[in-house]
Chain A
Amino acid sequence: MARGLGKSYRIATSGRSHDRLTEALVARAKDPFHRREFETFEALHDMSFDIPWGEAVGIVGRNGAGKSTLLKILTRITAPTTGRVELGGRVGSLLEVGTGFHPELTGRENIFLNGSLLGMGRSEIRRRFDDIVRFSGIEKFLETPVKRFSSGMYVRLAFAVAAHLETEILAIDEVLAVGDAEFQRKSLDKMRDVAKDGRAVLYVSHQMQTVTALCTSAMFIDRGRLVQTGSVDDVMTAYRDSFDDWRARQVEAKHRPGTGEIRLERVDTTEVRDPVDDTVVTFAVGANPEIVGKYFVSCHIVDHQGAVVAQCDSRLVSQWFDPSEPRSGELRIKNLWLKPGTYTIDAFVCQNGVFDGWRGAAAFEVLPHLPYPDLVMDEGVELGAVFADFDYEAW
């Protein structure tokens, strides 16, 4: 369906871009023949792929790889710079749940407004109205302005409208992270049905789990290029491997984001540990006497799916660091019982902006030991993001 698709943004390198009409006019008057020089940034580069009917395709890639840009082009929100796309039908998009909802309008009015925005005709919305309401479970509040809805109700209603779209192609950008477990299951089922109907689903995510659960094939995008397409398992393996490569690159400070005025030199942690052990991270930061004021450090514990489990910002415990000489320090997280698996640590050094952002600065493995006195079957421990230190009493 897509051939040689590309999208580049022009980033001005000479002079400023003119946000005000007067500025643009004055600049033009001063120097009428001046050609602005641009550096082109290629968000997508020469992509070609076909998506057959009945296929649910997961699009994975790291932040900034171009996943969302690709989806925006396919849903025609923005135009490609080169190439050509042929779509075999209407595209319904679920780019962000609830866009087009207006807080002052009632549930009923919003269903009609949102439905029409997503491309449904009036008769189509009327026909599906009852289904939508039933799916969302807000029957009682149809005449209430949605500003008085709880956030859960709001999301459920928004998703319900979008899920009942009858477009041939459905594009989804990580909306499953919302709602309770029951609703997420309902939504996943709904999306599987769409693919079973012989329509096509495009699902963008960096959560591997939902891609594996939902999709029949996958695409891996890295820095605007299509790296691999194929079965979900193959693509997932490639995606995971790329993480290791990428982490190796991050060790060199010049590959890392941030202004670089001050850099992290070392981030370490115990590589193998038990769930009940304290998480201890030691780090060393270089010096830069020219920086005015103190800086802070923030370490994030990230699980293998890319979800941040804990954010430990030194400002929260009023710890600031003096940039005039090299520093080292230790972060100790107590009573955080991580579940077995591999985790990485993202470390940041910031003041007003980010000096250094080192993702995947260290990694560790939590051994599959249960921190509880008794053993149960898997279903007793498989839910929950972390283990909790809890107790029961019978009265």
Chain B
Amino acid sequence: MSAPRIVITPPGRLNIPRWREVWEAREIFYRFGIRDVVLRYRQTAIGIAWVVLQPLVTAGIFAIVFGRVAGLPTGGVPYLLFAFAGTTAWTVFSGVLTRAAPSLVANQALVSKVFFPRVVVPLSTSLSVMLDFCVSLVMLGVLLVVYGVNPGWALLGLPLWTVCAVTFGSGLGLAASAVMVKYRDVTYVLPWLVQVLMYATPVAYSLDAVPANLSWLFAANPLTWLMECFRWSMLGTPAPPLWQIAGLIAVSALALAGGLLVFQQREREFADVI
């Protein structure tokens, strides 16, 4: 038989994923993604409209609370548009993170019964998040036209920021999902942490609203860089400094690498512990 030989040995200290296997599992990645999307909108009355409705209502609430009640500045952008762009971008990061984290535990029957590269499970959740993102982008386009805002050439950077948001979120999500296999605390801590992060990051308000003596704190937050890049490309606000763009790319790559490392280190014991 001309089949590849597979050698099984006890796990070593540094367990690097076998890339060929991960690549061969791309069909699983795709099927998991489809399953998530299909399941979310099957047996719902308005189906995919939920994707638009949720960020729109959130943005509306933000517009009222932060724009009207608190009167925070947005740098001249209409508040609804500003908040919608902010939540859309934020949802890419937080969506990937919060859906990847519980994915292993949610699929425990599979993890303990079938072999396939486990990395596929948390990573595949990003597919459904990307679909939501695309739908939201269409809605954003409509809003841009309605308010007559033109982001200009900066729009071309959008795919790059999206990739950064997904890798950043996936990296943290991978680590969180691996830890959750043993410590279910993550289930409770993570949503709370994501919410805290959202308020600590200029999602619903602009950096202009931050008092000068605190601005260093915000500038040190990689998620601020992410939001600034997104807004630059979506709304045509002033570009963030170059070091923030470079930093964002570096931090995202590091997060993914670190997440993979944590994940792989625990991978071989998943079936025994979960």
Question: Which residues from chain A sit less than 8 Å from chain B, CB to CB?
Answer: 9, 19-22, 24, 53, 72-91, 93, 95-96, 99-100, 102, 104-105, 109, 112-113, 116-122, 145, 168, 198-199
Contact = CB atoms under 8 A, between A and B. Distances in A.
A168 B183 contact: no
A333 B42 CA distance: 51
Given A93-B114, A121-B27, A104 B39 contact: yes
30 contacts: A9-B272, A20-B183, A21-B185, A22-B185, A76-B115, A80-B9, A83-B9, A84-B9, A85-B9, A86-B7, A88-B5, A90-B4, A91-B115, A93-B115, A96-B113, A100-B109, A100-B110, A100-B114, A104-B38, A104-B39, A105-B38, A105-B39, A113-B31, A117-B114, A117-B116, A118-B114, A119-B24, A119-B116, A120-B27, A199-B1
B119 to A, nearest CB: 14
A100 B121 CA distance: 12
A116 B8 contact: no
A96 B114 CA distance: 9
B45 interface: no
A20 B27 contact: no
A79 B10 contact: yes
Given A75-B115, A99-B113, A84 B8 contact: yes
Contacts of A86: 5-8
A90 B38 contact: no
Given A20-B183, A99-B110, A122-B27, A88 B38 contact: no
B54 interface: no
B110 A20 contact: no
Interface in B10-27: 10-11, 24-25, 27
Contacts of B114: 75, 77, 93, 95, 99-100, 117-118
A84 B8 CA distance: 6
Contacts of A89: 1, 3-6
A376 B49 CA distance: 69
A85 B27 contact: no
A82 B10 contact: yes
B68 interface: no
B44 to A, nearest CB: 12
Contact of A85 (B4, B7, B186): B7
A210 to B, nearest CB: 21
Contacts of A87: 5-8
B1 A102 contact: no
Contacts of B5: 86-89
Contacts of B6: 76, 86-87, 89-91
A74 B185 CA distance: 32
Given A19-B182, A72-B271, 16 more contacts: A22-B185, A76-B8, A77-B115, A80-B10, A83-B10, A89-B5, A90-B3, A95-B114, A99-B113, A99-B114, A102-B35, A102-B39, A104-B39, A113-B31, A113-B34, A116-B30
A96 B109 CA distance: 10
Contacts of A76: 6, 8, 115
Contact of A53 (B1, B25, B185, B268): B1
A163 B9 CA distance: 28
Contacts of A112: 31
A262 B133 CA distance: 63
Contacts of B268: 78-79
B28 interface: yes
A279 to B, nearest CB: 38
Contacts of A121: 24, 27
Nearest to A90: B3
B9 A88 contact: no
Given A100-B110, A118-B114, A113 B35 contact: yes
A186 B92 CA distance: 49
A113 B31 CA distance: 6
A116 B110 contact: no
A76 B115 CA distance: 6
Contacts of B35: 102, 105, 109, 113
A241 B114 CA distance: 34
Contacts of A104: 38-39, 42-43
B113 A95 contact: yes
Nearest to A120: B27
Given A100-B114, A105-B39, A113-B35, A78 B7 contact: no
Contacts of A82: 10
Nearest to B109: A99
A55 B34 CA distance: 38
Interface in B39-81: 39, 42-43
A274 B172 CA distance: 69
A78 B27 contact: no
Interface in B230-269: 268-269
A198 B1 contact: yes
B112 interface: yes
Interface string B114-147: 1110000000000000000000000000000000
